[in-house]
């Protein structure tokens, strides 16, 4: 790492810390106001669309491996548990697959395709950001910053590989490390034929002035790209904790599955808060997008290691949601189609109330 890179990393860390300090108290005031204004709401009438997605990939290189050579043990052990959960709730999953993994297990993914959505998670877990990867990423030195042309070659190859294996091209996309951070990559995904991108948490972390779930047409890029008709990609963000954490190793993000492991009460409160935000914003539905990895349901030490515990906790979470709210399980593409048909403020004939 050069001295220039070190200085840039230090500057970015200082900016993140400053942003957290500036956002922390205003967000607490915002949170108390939300709870006060929604105190008398009947949340049981709110419909919740649950999206269960999985970054279906090789194991991370925890065991002295590299990103170019990784094991499949987590996938082999963990995927059956996740699919068992899907069968239990008749819930179709969206599997964002590394194309290289699909090439290694073509028969398995061909069998899964009729019941679950096979999306794309790049070819071999490439870094798609326009800035250097953050420090917490293992073997980060292996990830160069790719040009738009290089990304186009990789994603075209990944898309064709998945299409060759399962008989149809993937519609949905989620970047490794959620590394989509520039409009050029979004435009590329749109040009390649993807309908949706899920590389974004459910808020815009550049501003917490109103940290509610953005519409699927909102990203870090200019919104007028969609209104001008030059962008057709729909954003289907994964769900993160609405309340930012002051000191958190991964900035202010905390995903639903992480919350479930720490505290079931916290995860359910996150869903309740999201329902209150949506009702106050005039939305008659809420979306909970739970994203996971196969190795999280595996017992492999150093890779996932949660195994049966992750399975049981996610099962309890879904049971509690089903006992409290009206639940509908959809894939990312099913939700994308529903959004376009019923709620999209740019395209649908019915405007979201």
- Report the pLDDT value the prediction gives residue 151, as an integer from 0 to 100: 96
State the pLDDT at residue 158: 98
DSSP tag of 176: G
DSSP letters of 98-127? -HHHHHHSHHHHHHHTTTSEEEE-TTT---
Q: What is the mean pLDDT of residues 306-328?
A: 91
Residue 245: pLDDT band by 50, 70, 90 thresholds? low
Q: Is the predicted pLDDT of residue 301 greater than 60, yes or no?
A: no
pTM over 0.75: yes
Residues in a beta bridge with 201: 238
Helical axes 264-280 vs 3-37, angle rounded to 10°? 70
Cα 264 to Cα 314: distance, rounded to the nearest angstrom: 9
User: Does pLDDT of 26 surpass 70?
Assistant: no
Residue 56 β-bridge partners? 97
Cβ neighbours of 171 (radius 10 Å)? 19
CB-based burial, 204-239: b 16+ in 10 Å, e otherwise: bbeebeebbbbbbbebebeeebbeeeebbbbbbbbb
Please report the domains of the chain, with CATH numbers, ordered by start residue: 30-343 (3.20.20.370)
Q: Which of 316, 279, 280 is CA-nearest to residue 44?
A: 279
More confident residue, 209 or 133: 133
Q: How confident is the model at residue 211 (pLDDT cuts 50, 70, 90)?
A: very low
CB atoms within 10 A of CB 285: 17
Higher pLDDT, 117 or 244: 117
Identify which of 303, 240, 352 has the alpha carbon closest to the alpha carbon of residue 60: 303
Q: Which of 282, 243, 264 is nearest to 321 (CA)?
A: 264
Distance (Å, whole) CA 260 – CA 258: 5
């Amino acid at each position: 790492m050069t001295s220039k890179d070190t200085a840039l990393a230090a500057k970015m860390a200082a900016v993140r810390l400053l942003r957290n300090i500036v956002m922390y108290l205003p967000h607490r005031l915002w949170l108390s106001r939300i709870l006060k204004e929604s105190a008398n709401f009947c949340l049981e009438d709110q419909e919740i669309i649950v999206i269960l997605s999985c970054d279906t990939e090789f194991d991370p290189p925890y065991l002295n491996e590299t990103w170019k050579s990784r094991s499949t043990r987590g996938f082999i052990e963990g995927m059956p548990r996740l699919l068992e959960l899907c069968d239990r709730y008749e819930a179709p999953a969206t599997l964002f697959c590394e194309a290289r993994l699909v090439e290694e297990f073509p028969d398995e993914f061909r069998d899964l395709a009729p019941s679950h959505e096979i999306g794309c998670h790049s070819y071999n877990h490439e870094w798609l950001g326009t800035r250097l990867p953050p420090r917490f990423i293992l073997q980060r030195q292996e990830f160069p910053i790719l040009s738009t042309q290089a990304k186009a070659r990789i994603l075209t190859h990944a898309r064709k590989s998945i299409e060759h294996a399962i008989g149809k091209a993937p519609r949905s996309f989620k970047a490794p490390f959620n590394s989509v951070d520039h409009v050029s990559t979004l435009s590329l995904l749109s040009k390649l034929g993807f309908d949706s991108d899920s590389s974004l948490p459910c808020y815009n972390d550049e501003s917490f002035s109103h940290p509610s779930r953005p519409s699927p047409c909102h990203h870090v890029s200019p919104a007028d790209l969609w209104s001008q008709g030059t962008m057709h990609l729909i954003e289907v963000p994964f769900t993160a904790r609405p309340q930012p954490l002051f000191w958190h190793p991964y900035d202010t993000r905390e995903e639903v599955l992480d919350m479930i492991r720490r505290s079931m009460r916290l995860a359910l409160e996150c869903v309740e808060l999201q329902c209150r935000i949506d009702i106050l914003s005039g939305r008659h539905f809420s979306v909970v997008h739970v994203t996971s990895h196969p190795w999280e349901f595996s017992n492999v030490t150093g890779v996932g290691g949660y195994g049966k515990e992750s399975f049981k906790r996610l099962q309890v979470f879904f049971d509690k949601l089903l006992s409290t709210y009206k639940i509908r399980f959809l894939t990312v593409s099913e939700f994308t189609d529903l959004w376009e048909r019923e709620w999209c403020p740019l395209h649908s004939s019915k405007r979201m109330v």
